[in-house]
Amino acid sequence: MRYIKTSERLNLLKDVANENGWSTDVIGQTKNGLDLFVFRNRPDKHVDICAWSLMHGNEPTGFNALLSFMQRSNTSISWSIFPVVNPNGADLFKRLNADALDINRDARNLSSIEGLALSKWVLGENPSLALNLHDQRTCFYPKGKDVPASFSLLAPKGNRDYETTSQIIAMNCCSWMTNQLKGNYPDGVGRFDDSFYPSAFGEYFQENNIPTITIETGIGLNDWARVEVSKSLGELLFSLDKNFQSALSCKLKSYQKLPQNVNNAQDWICITSAGPYEIRVMELVENQKYSRAWKVVGPGDLDRKYWFLSESISTSVELTTGQILDDDLVQFLGGISIKDLDVFSFSD
């Protein structure tokens, strides 16, 4: 479920909330009149975890995981969840909000309605942990590994120069998460570089003494639609719910030992007599219909990592940058039909 309309997302959330006794509150409204919804499982208790997703409207994996988490009826700790931070962007499957603002660069200016609502909500809840859920592009992989980064973890800095208490707690929890994930993703967990971006919400909440973790979910070689990774993230949240205190005090340093992410992998390199081309999976939403396509992005670089390679040097096909490939041409070039992407193993 990479794309559904925002109205459908909200209906699903409200139905699940009703079934499982989560409270539903509106904490703001976008300029186009869409409500910003927050759901709480124990509205009378101090909040242990705030979690949010779809700050970037084309990054729905966190939403799917939060929805599946809310479907579990036996939660242990107190959650407050803001699953659709950017409802206008999510409706269009676009990163930015209706004013073309990147909400995750708006933590200081608070010029977006959504960023202001997010800030007020998290600071008001003052949770023991905040989870900022994003998708990452297919080009990321843990340095030295041969698989994409299906999970990337980041405990953002709360101060440019030293580790704050909140960052240390967040790193403890990242170590716990690393250990939880390594069974299913022995190589596919990376660490984001923790350069200090003060305008991002992770840094902002960390600075405000709220331990904050950014989780970025990516593809797997058999999971380009991110179905498995969203299930794994839902399981991780459920396990965190059951092991919250031990996660916050985990001292194993597994997070610090994770390889850093590199961001230059190519989806598909196709070698033709005109040279290698880099071809990438594009996700498109037009008129509220989702589709994927292979798109030529330019010359391929065989010295950089790639997830799939084909050769059709006997043909003289010339590809142009920006070209969208139809299924017949993909087949001719020795590629994988876009509809088969999730069942084909790129590592074969």
Q: Which residues bind Zn ion (CB under 5 A)?
A: 56, 59, 134
Q: Shortest Cβ distance from residue 237 to Zn ion (Å)? A: 18
Q: Which residues, including other chains, have CB under 8 Å from residue 291's CB and lie 6 or more apart?
A: 283, 284, 285
Helices (H), 182-284: 201-207, 227-242, 244-248
The residue among 100 and 324 lying less far from Zn ion, judged by its C-beta, is 100
Q: Which residue is nearest to Zn ion (CB)?
A: 134
The residue among 132 and 266 lying less far from Zn ion, judged by its C-beta, is 132
Helices (H), 141-263: 165-181, 201-207, 227-242, 244-248
Helices (H), 194-332: 201-207, 227-242, 244-248, 327-332
Q: Shortest Cβ distance from residue 185 to Zn ion (Å)? A: 20
Q: Shortest Cβ distance from residue 269 to Zn ion (Å)? A: 26
Beta strands in the chain (DSSP E): 23-29, 35-40, 49-52, 79-82, 129-135, 141-142, 151-154, 189-191, 212-217, 261-262, 268-272, 275-286, 289-299, 309-312, 324-325
Angular region, 329: left φ>0, alpha ψ -120 to 50, beta rest: alpha
The residue among 59 and 125 lying less far from Zn ion, judged by its C-beta, is 59
Q: Tell me, what amino acid is at 253? A: K
The residue among 59 and 114 lying less far from Zn ion, judged by its C-beta, is 59
CA angle 285/267/225 to nearest 5° reads 45
Q: Shortest Cβ distance from residue 277 to Zn ion (Å)? A: 28
Q: Shortest Cβ distance from residue 216 to Zn ion (Å)? A: 7
Q: Shortest Cβ distance from residue 108 to Zn ion (Å)? A: 18
State the first-to-last Cα distance of the chain, in angstroms, to the nearest integer: 26
The residue among 9 and 134 lying less far from Zn ion, judged by its C-beta, is 134
The label of the residue with tokens 């208490």 reads 165
The residue among 9 and 56 lying less far from Zn ion, judged by its C-beta, is 56
The residue among 57 and 300 lying less far from Zn ion, judged by its C-beta, is 57
Q: How many Cβ atoms are within 10 Å of 98's Cβ, its own excluded?
A: 20
The label of the residue with tokens 């959650």 reads 79
Q: Shortest Cβ distance from residue 136 to Zn ion (Å)? A: 8
The label of the residue with tokens 């396990």 reads 239
Q: Shortest Cβ distance from residue 257 to Zn ion (Å)? A: 25
The residue among 56 and 191 lying less far from Zn ion, judged by its C-beta, is 56
